[in-house]
Amino acid sequence: MSAQNLAAQYRLTDADLERIRVHGKGVTPRLDAFIAKFYDWMRTLPEFAQFFSSPQKLHTVQNLQRDYWVQFFAGRVDDEYVGRRQQVGETHARIGLPLPAYFAAMDVSLHLWTHEIAAAPVDGDTYESIVKLCHIDTAIVVDTFSRRTTAIIRDQHEAMLEMSTPVTEVWEDVLMLPIVGMIDSHRAHDIMTAVLTKIGETHARSLILDISGVAVMDTAVANHLIKISKASKLMGSTCIISGVSPAIAQTIVELGINVGDVRTTATLRDALTVALRDAGVEIRQQQQLQR
pLDDT score of 77 more than 50: yes
Res. 76: pLDDT tops 80: yes
Q: What's the CA gap between 109 and 184, in Å, rounded? A: 46
Asked if the structure places residue 290 within a domain, the reply is: no
- Among 161, 179, 195, the domain-final residue is 161
The answer to whether residue 285 sits within a structural domain is no
Asked if 114 and 2 touch (Cβ cutoff 8 Å), the reply is no
| Residue 49 shares a structural domain with residue 182 | no
Does residue 240 lie in a domain region? yes
Q: Is 119 helix (H, G, I), strand (E, B) or coil?
A: coil
pTM: 0.61
Per-residue pLDDT at 289: 47
Residue 122: per-residue pLDDT: 92
pLDDT recorded at residue 153: 81
> For residue 199, what is the domain's CATH number?
3.30.750.24
Structural domain count, the chain: 2
Residues 113-142 pLDDT 10s: 999 998 888 999 999 999 999 999 999 999
In a domain, 271, yes or no: yes
Write out the residue range of the structural domain in which residue 252 sits: 168-278
173: left (phi over 0), alpha (psi -120 to 50) or beta: left
Same-domain status, 19 and 95 = yes
Encode 150-173: b = buried (16+ Cβ within 10 Å), e = exposed: eeeeeeeeeeeeeebbebeeeeeb
> Are residues 197 and 138 both part of a single domain?
no
In a domain, residue 28? The reply is yes
pLDDT single digits (tens) 192-214: 998 999 999 999 999 999 988 88
The yes-or-no verdict on residue 100 having pLDDT over 50 is: yes
Q: What is the pLDDT of residue 188?
A: 84
Q: Where are the beta strands (DSSP E) in 127-266?
A: 168-171, 174-181, 206-214, 238-242, 263-264
Residues in the chain: 291
Residues 121 and 240 both lie in one domain:
no
Residues 77 and 96 reside in one and the same domain: yes
Domain boundary among 102, 130, 161: 161
Domain presence at residue 291: no
pLDDT surpasses 80 at 164: no
Same domain, 30 and 157: yes
Domain endpoint, select from 115, 139, 161: 161
Supply the CATH number for residue 100's domain.
Answer: 1.10.490.10
At a CB cut-off of 8 Å and minimum separation 6, what does 112 contact? Answer: 34, 37, 38
Among 158, 135, 138, residue whose Cα is nearest residue 146: 138
